[in-house]
Structure 1
Amino acid sequence: MELQTFLPSDILKPYVKYYWVFATDQQSINDAMYPSGYLELAINISEGEVVSVLNDRYIDMPPVEVLGQLTAPARIIAGKQTTLLVTRFYPHATALFFPNRIVDFTDDSVDLLDVFKADAVDLHAHMMDQSTLTQKIGILDSFLVRQLIRSKKNLSQISLIESICRYAGPGGDGPDIAQLALRHGVSTRYIQKLFIDCIGITPRRFFNIRRFNKSLTLVRKAQESLTSIAYECGYYDQAHFIREFKAFSGVTPSRFLQPTLSADTAEI
């Protein structure tokens, strides 16, 4: 499997982190997917077949899929010579591109046809008409620019979410929502609703997933003890770290480090 990343156009850079390509060669794969804190739009630009396994549900991937926030480990099963072009949105900006509440996508694979109707069909057909990856990315980029221009979402709400996400930093439990609500002149209930509607999960779940991903990076490097990783990432103790790591990955950190698991998971 190969992984490549590409930057979006300048107008999209505040909202789209990057495009990335997931590609298998002559072998089919069965790979783990972990909660990342991001919603992604995945487009099958090949003839390969893909199945997502979410909470024991086997879901055939449509031509264009919205893969919502994951709150538990999942798997992707992809056939030989499969290529996916994936858009990773910044969490605070996801709602700018979809008319739905983002929680509608959480822990699910949703056909973009159910969201945008004919526009989704046209997007995939137009992309498949292009002969190069660069041309396909250009079509996708233009589609997202149009959705951004058409968006009726309240930019002040998006700005508030971005501020909270940025304030939190990469580790720990995240900010004190009550203090941030007071600082911004809104209620904690309002912030909770914004996160559910615009990111798809609660603030606490979002920051727990962010903390897990920091610990996952450190576990993959295998340069520190699990106790050191636990405290560096803001867990109360090693038991707390192991419990949360298992909830999001399906295995304990020590089990994850075994070659058959760590070699089976790609970082993106």
Structure 2
Amino acid sequence: MNSADLFIPTDATEKRFIRCIWRVERLHQRPCTETILPKGTVELIFNFSDRITHVDLETGTATVLPDLFLNGINFRPFQLQKQGRQYFFGIQLTTFGMRGLFGAGVGAYHDKVVEGAHVCRSLHALFGQVQARKAFSEQVLVIRAWLERRIAASRSSDRVGRMHDLFSFDRPGELDVARLCREKGVSDRQLRRLSTEWLGMNTETFLLYRKYRTALHLLHRTGFSLGQVGLEAGYYDQSHFIREFRSFTGMTPTAYRASVTGLPGHILG
């Protein structure tokens, strides 16, 4: 029993709040681990699995995952320890959508797994609605209806759109803070304030993270050498690329490429 489903929104308003809705079902006959590297995502996950343990690899802290939780933006890897049935249904939020939907910036959730009730009390009812549907298409309809209601009630909906436009650009490797300010027509001080408020990090860290994420995905292109990956992502030389990649993942790009699966940022052990 191994299956995966994915819904990517096409509606312009939905796309400002969520990146995708996904579902994964797996059966692990033996104990196994999955190491998840920083991916720059914020995810609300409905956990219908057997017992799965989240391990903070820096502190060694082990926590059994709750039935419904939010995983914020990660700056360091973590590990999942699994056996038996794994059934995750997830909503991958945009960074700005988090604030628009729940009135809280993502900064408070960096490198954390937070029980859903601490994010929003009404999520418990949503959990029951998703659990009651078996078909992925029906579960998606439940989420889209909930999303429509949350967006309509949001006081930040218009600002989410503006922030999405402000921090969206095609080639992060070509940008520094000064150039981003010029292109977007804002001051350094204003951009720094908005970055901290909406992203939970300063502008420089945001740009570094974007370069790292670009490199992470490029490493899955078999035709690219490490040097090409580094240059394409915006690193000025290979040693700079290796150093920055290791600062996020604890491993070199070569070691990561040797252990990759089909999904960027996931290493099965």
Q: TM-score range by the shorter chain?
A: 0.7 to 0.9
CA deviation string 1:103-160 (max 9, x = no partner)? 111111111101212x12211122222232322222222222222122112624x344
Q: Partner residue of 2:75?
A: 71
Root mean square deviation of aligned Cα? 2.5
Q: Partner residue of 1:12?
A: 14
Q: Partner residue of 1:50?
A: 52
Tell whether the 8 Å contact from 2:176 to 2:207 is kept in structure 1 after alignment: no
- Per the TM alignment, residue 85 of structure 1 is displaced from its structure 2 partner at its CA by 1.0
Q: Could you say what secondary structure the match of 2:85 adopts? A: coil
Aligned-partner Cα distance in 1 for 2:10–2:207: 28
Go from structure 1 to structure 2 and tell me whether the alpha carbon gap of 1:155 and 1:29 turns closer, same or farther (over 3 Å shift). Answer: farther
Which ranges in structure 2 are unaligned for 5 or more consecutive residues?
none
Which ranges in structure 1 are unaligned for 5 or more consecutive residues?
none
Go from structure 1 to structure 2 and tell me whether the alpha carbon gap of 1:65 and 1:21 turns closer, same or farther (over 3 Å shift). Answer: same
- Aligned with 1:23 (options 12, 15, 25): 25
Go from structure 1 to structure 2 and tell me whether the alpha carbon gap of 1:186 and 1:171 turns closer, same or farther (over 3 Å shift). Answer: closer
Tell whether the 8 Å contact from 1:51 to 1:78 is kept in structure 2 after alignment: yes
Q: Partner residue of 1:244?
A: 244
Aligned-partner Cα distance in 2 for 1:171–1:189: 20
Q: Partner residue of 1:218?
A: 218
Q: Partner residue of 2:195?
A: 195
Tell whether the 8 Å contact from 1:230 to 1:238 is kept in structure 2 after alignment: yes
2:38 aligned with 1:41: no
Aligned-partner Cα distance in 1 for 2:183–2:211: 24
Aligned-partner Cα distance in 2 for 1:124–1:106: 23
Taking structure 2 as the reference length, the TM-score comes to: 0.84
CA deviation string 1:169-212 (max 9, x = no partner)? 2441x634345446656442332232233223333222222222
Aligned residues: 260
Q: Partner residue of 2:208?
A: 208
Q: Partner residue of 2:264?
A: 267
Q: Partner residue of 1:3?
A: 4
Sequence identity (%): 21
Aligned-partner Cα distance in 2 for 1:139–1:52: 27
- Per the TM alignment, residue 242 of structure 1 is displaced from its structure 2 partner at its CA by 0.4
Go from structure 1 to structure 2 and tell me whether the alpha carbon gap of 1:231 and 1:176 turns closer, same or farther (over 3 Å shift). Answer: closer
Return 32-41 or 234-243, whichever deviates more: 32-41
Return 76-85 or 64-73, whichever deviates more: 76-85
Go from structure 1 to structure 2 and tell me whether the alpha carbon gap of 1:131 and 1:182 turns closer, same or farther (over 3 Å shift). Answer: closer
Q: Could you say what secondary structure the match of 2:156 adopts? A: coil
Aligned-partner Cα distance in 1 for 2:143–2:98: 15
CA deviation string 1:3-26 (max 9, x = no partner)? 321134735233211111232223
